């Protein structure tokens, strides 16, 4: 009788530690992907929201001077508002590192401007499991307010 001194183990247990390590490594990579690419998605959403808010403010400040002088009513000049918001959005394009960047500018007469920004970025870790892109959409509205007390006064 030969004894190796390690106890009696069956061959059915051989390699089970290797399989467990492979499963744990894959789970760890997936978790790292969620953390890294999830953080990138939050960052992209924050950037998109900030850009949309600032562009909406830039556009909503464009008062139709002819209407203001003739009637005393302050309304947004649609063409000037679109131009100002688009100018801001184009300038912001150079400050982000996204692969895809789109926007829309809507004038909602008489005093409101709505801007929607879409940012699309490639994933870093989740592409290993087939998720290749992160896309975020953020919208912001700005309303021209006049007077001391604001709208409805």
Q: Count of alpha carbons within 13 Å of 146, Cβ hemisphere only?
A: 12
Domain locations along the chain: 23-143
Q: What is the pLDDT of residue 138?
A: 98
Q: Return the HEC string of the chain.
A: CCCCCCCCCCHHHCCHHHHHHHHHHHHHHHHHHHHHHHHHHHHHHHHHHHHHHHHHHHHHCCECHHHHHHHCCCCECHHHHHHHHHHHHHHHHCCCCCCEEEEEEEEECCCEEEEEEEEEEECCCHHHHCCCEEEEEEEEEEECCCCCCCCCC
- pLDDT per residue as tens, the chain (153 positions): 555 555 555 666 666 778 889 999 988 888 888 899 999 999 999 999 999 999 999 999 898 888 888 888 888 999 999 999 999 999 999 888 778 899 999 999 888 999 999 999 999 988 888 889 999 999 999 998 877 655 665
Q: What is the pLDDT of residue 149?
A: 59
Q: What is the pLDDT of residue 119?
A: 95
Tokens of 50: 């900030």
């Amino acid at each position: 009788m030969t004894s190796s001194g390690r106890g009696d183990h069956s061959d059915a247990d051989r390699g089970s530690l290797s399989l467990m390590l492979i499963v744990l490594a894959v789970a760890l990579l997936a978790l790292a992907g969620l953390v890294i690419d999830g953080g990138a998605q939050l960052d992209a959403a924050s950037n998109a929201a900030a850009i949309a808010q600032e562009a909406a403010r830039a556009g909503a400040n464009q008062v139709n001077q002819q209407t203001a002088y003739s009637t005393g009513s302050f309304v947004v000049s649609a063409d000037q508002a679109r131009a100002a918001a688009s100018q801001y959005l184009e300038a912001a394009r150079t400050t982000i590192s996204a692969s895809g960047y789109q926007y829309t500018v809507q004038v909602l007469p008489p005093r409101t401007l709505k801007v929607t920004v879409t940012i699309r970025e490639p994933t870093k870790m989740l592409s290993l499991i087939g998720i290749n892109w992160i896309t975020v959409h953020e919208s912001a509205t700005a309303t021209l307010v006049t007077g001391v007390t604001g709208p409805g006064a």
